[in-house]
Amino acid sequence: MAKIKQVKMRLGLNPAKDWLETVVAINYNATDRNTETYRRPVPSTDERFFINLPKTVADALGVDKAKASDQKEVVVKFLELIEQYKNINTEVNRVILYKINVSPEPREKESAFDAGFRKVSVWAGTYEETVATAGDGGKRYSYTRIESPVNFAELDEKDWHNHTGRNADRFDKQVPWTEQNAVFFIWIKENMTLLIERLHELEQPDLLIETINAGRLLPLGES
């Protein structure tokens, strides 16, 4: 493979700065004696010339390169893909992503070394889900976290799920953002936090006995 030419183009990918120019490299996919040695695929005649697409365009369209049999045609195909990206259909939904992990699972056989051991982890966050329908008809999903009381404080410094790669699948654990759904996860967040705080307190035997004698139910307070 060899880079045979570089040209500057105004691709218009950033409408706010449509004057920006991008350096585009036209490449030629050559075949030499190393092709067979290293088992590189031999390109067909009509794919010898190629231009790599910008990552955002490639991610959305599911195509890495514009390919053609000559320099002029490859530029035409490249610009067609850029226009296809600009006209891509997108839909934005507000959703709550969540993860609930309980160990061991109800049907899982407990190990003799951890019989009775239980572990629960819960996470939720509010995201904008962007659904892009690309030229190949495939749907690709990306997620951007937005401010919300549902975002669990323990993970505020992380973007737990920001899947923006090509062919990104839909996050399988999600519900639409509604007031009712938000209240549900906020309730979990508040009560899980309270439960954790009280369990830490109950590491002290005196406080444990006091709580039992007072008839308090964790994490909801006194009965």
**pLDDT confidence tier of residue 137, bands split at 50, 70 and 90:** low
Q: 154 with 199, same domain?
A: no
Beta-bridge partner residues of 22: 9
Q: What is each CA distance from 53 to 11, 13, 23, in whole angstroms?
A: 11, 12, 11
Can you tell me the distance from the alpha carbon of 170 to that of 20, in angstroms, rounded to the nearest whole number? 33
Q: 164 with 209, same domain?
A: no
Report pLDDT for 114.
Answer: 55
Q: 100 with 82, same domain?
A: no
**pLDDT confidence tier of residue 12, bands split at 50, 70 and 90:** confident
Of 64, 86, 108, which residue sits at a domain end?
86
Q: 103 with 153, same domain?
A: yes
**Domain hosting residue 135, numbered range:** 88-177
Q: 63 with 103, same domain?
A: no
Beta-bridge partner residues of 25: 6
The total number of structural domains that make up the chain: 3
Instruction: Please tell me what DSSP assigns to residue 79.
Output: H
Question: 194-200, long-range: CB within 8 Å, 24+ apart, which pairs?
Answer: 194/219, 195/219
Q: Measured in Å, how far apart are the chain's first and last C-alpha atoms?
A: 75
Q: 94 with 173, same domain?
A: yes
Instruction: Please tell me what DSSP assigns to residue 15.
Output: G
- Average pLDDT in the chain: 79
pLDDT in tens, 147-183: 888 888 554 444 555 444 444 678 889 999 999 999 9
Burial class (CB in 10 A: 0-12, 13-18, 19+), 79: middle
Give yes or no for residue 23 having a pLDDT over 70: yes
Can you tell me the distance from the alpha carbon of 65 to that of 54, in angstroms, rounded to the nearest whole number? 9
Report pLDDT for 191.
Answer: 86
Q: Residues 189, 152: contact at Cβ < 8 Å?
A: yes
pLDDT in tens, 31-55: 655 555 556 666 677 778 999 998 8
Mean pLDDT, residues 110-122: 66
Can you tell me the distance from the alpha carbon of 172 to that of 204, in angstroms, rounded to the nearest whole number? 40
Q: 209 with 149, same domain?
A: no
Q: 72 with 99, same domain?
A: no
Give yes or no for residue 67 having a pLDDT over 60: yes
Q: Which of 180, 122, 181, 127 lies closest to 152, judged by CA? A: 122
Weakest mean pLDDT among 17-21, 46-50, 110-114, 167-171: 110-114
Q: 192 with 170, same domain?
A: no
pTM, whole model, 2 decimals? Answer: 0.59
